[in-house]
Amino acid sequence: MGLPEHIDEWVKDNRSQLLEFLSELVRTPSVVSPPLAGELECQRIVEAAYRRSGSEVDVFSPSEVPGLREHPLYFDTWDGAPRPLEDRPDVVGVFRGAGGGRSLLLSTHVDTVPMGSQPWREADPFSGEVKDGKLYGRGSWDTKWGIAVGLFAVRCLREIGAPLRGDVILESVVDEEYGGSHGVLASRLRGYNVDFAINSEPTSMTVAPAHRGGGEWRITVRGDAGMAFGDRRLANSVYKLARVVDAIREFDVERNRDPRPPRFFESDPELPSYTMQVGGGGDSYADASGIPHECYLIAWIEEYPGTDREEHTRRFTGFVNSYLERDPGFDGVYPEYTPTIRYLPGSSVDPSHPFFGALESAFRGAGREYRLGAAPFAADTYVFNLHSPTPAVTLGPGGGNAHAADEHVLVEDVVDLVRIYARVVLGWCG
């Protein structure tokens, strides 16, 4: 029996242990819900699992890593409030090779968004329950599977006695959701830079050399408050906000009229703009005694790789302002634009890099279709590609309902990714 058959047999024998570990991670909340963040308990489980598997373990808080606070990506607020970085440790596990081989890093963010306000119908948000080939729970797809898959792929190779020359590094990082990036950045600044990295995100088995980015904005408009009682005509901030909504809708239509997607985005060329929240005038009936002095909305505007913060800001706010220029209600006073998080650029990596050859043979060896494409969402992969010497690809299993009720990951994809990652580590680092 050759090594590939040993891999498959080991994965078969350890399948229930793999799912149980992923389920344990899902059952242990690591929710980020501004202004609070709580990855600590889940990271303790990851730390213990890395230690049990015989890796050198490094646990550190991003805030204590030299250079983080001075880094151009450092952005210590979310929507203007302080973003906590204490008690949110990154966990890194290093498996040393015999020497002389290429190194690989498997990076996964452990934090999740909250359970949300919609009802969960299929399973409890923190159950980790398996039903009809799906493992349910917050973080199951986005992205705790990556912690389990990385660990089991390396354990598999060690337990079947596969010889590795290069180092394999696993990392479970904090502070990805709500545009964090500090967890993955801190690990780069601490020196965990290798020949290639896979960043875990839910790509439905598409190998993504490119991913989108975007900017998130709080847009505020102001006017008069109260009621006029006949003395004058009031400037109404609600009407102004409605015009801003119109402007964003027009921006969305206009820029997608003739899309010129870069490579890998051809099959999904549209750039979405999401108006995610609107507000003003309080939220109790008692507040509804006149028009509100100010209204706001929060919008997330996606961009292709290659668009930087300045270009994004100029294009988006420029379009909205010129749309409002024609509106007498604004009278030359434009909305106030405040970024809620740092701009998250898209990024891409050269698909002719030899790592893609290793990935392709791993997919084929595991009997899965090898498909290159783009990740149609923002991801911290850009931190690798634009701010570190380590190139990275985005990859993950199929599933559904990320950031929504009934989030789940496909069990077969998770199991196959262990078979694929074990093969890719062997091919790349062996």
Closest distance of CB 103 from Zn ion, Å:
27
Whether omega for the bond prior to residue 328 falls within 30 degrees of 0, making it cis, is no
Closest distance of CB 142 from Zn ion, Å:
4
> Which span (83-91, 136-144, 186-194, 409-417) binds Zn ion, by CB under 5 A?
136-144
Closest distance of CB 114 from Zn ion, Å:
11
Closest distance of CB 112 from Zn ion, Å:
7
> Which span (134-142, 154-162, 205-213, 342-350) binds Zn ion, by CB under 5 A?
134-142
Closer to Zn ion by CB, 58 or 142: give it. Answer: 142
Residue partners of 305: CB distance under 8 A and separation at least 6? 210, 211, 212, 213, 262, 345, 346, 347, 348, 382
Number of residues that bind Zn ion (CB under 5 A): 1
DSSP 226: B
> Which span (23-31, 71-79, 139-147, 375-383) binds Zn ion, by CB under 5 A?
139-147
> Which span (3-11, 95-103, 138-146, 297-305) binds Zn ion, by CB under 5 A?
138-146
Closer to Zn ion by CB, 142 or 216: give it. Answer: 142
* Distance, CA of 6 to chain centre: 33
Neighbours of 304 (CB within 10 A): 22
Closer to Zn ion by CB, 108 or 390: give it. Answer: 108
Lookup: tokens for 190 = 């601490």
Closer to Zn ion by CB, 346 or 430: give it. Answer: 346
Closer to Zn ion by CB, 33 or 321: give it. Answer: 33
DSSP H stretches of helix in 366-410: 381-387
Q: Are 167 and 106 in contact (CB under 8 A)?
A: no
Closest distance of CB 191 from Zn ion, Å:
26
> Which span (135-143, 147-155, 250-258, 337-345) binds Zn ion, by CB under 5 A?
135-143
- d(CA 78, CA 107) in angstroms, rounded, equals 23
Closer to Zn ion by CB, 142 or 380: give it. Answer: 142
Neighbours of 1 (CB within 10 A): 8
Closest distance of CB 113 from Zn ion, Å:
6
Phi, psi (rounded to 5 degrees) for 299: -125, 145
Closest distance of CB 134 from Zn ion, Å:
18
Closer to Zn ion by CB, 90 or 142: give it. Answer: 142
Closer to Zn ion by CB, 142 or 175: give it. Answer: 142
> Which span (37-45, 142-150, 211-219, 371-379) binds Zn ion, by CB under 5 A?
142-150
Q: Which residue has the tokens 């279709």?
A: 369
Closest distance of CB 24 from Zn ion, Å:
20
Q: Comparing C-alpha atoms, which of 429, 430, 267, 427 is closest to residue 363?
A: 427
Closest distance of CB 353 from Zn ion, Å:
26
Which residues of 132-206 form beta strands (DSSP E)?
Answer: 134-136, 168-173, 196-200
Q: Which residue has the tokens 């598997």?
A: 53
Q: Which of 8, 47, 142, 380 binds Zn ion (CB under 5 A)?
A: 142
Q: Which three-class secondary structure state does DSSP give residue 351?
A: coil
Q: Which residue has the tokens 């809708």?
A: 249
Closer to Zn ion by CB, 113 or 245: give it. Answer: 113
Q: Comparing C-alpha atoms, which of 57, 107, 90 is closest to residue 175?
A: 90
Closest distance of CB 377 from Zn ion, Å:
8
- d(CA 112, CA 124) in angstroms, rounded, equals 15
Q: Closest residue (Cβ) to Zn ion?
A: 142
DSSP H stretches of helix in 121-197: 145-159, 182-189
Binding mask 87-126 for Zn ion (x = CB under 5 A): ----------------------------------------
Residues of this chain that interact with Zn ion (CB under 5 A) are 142
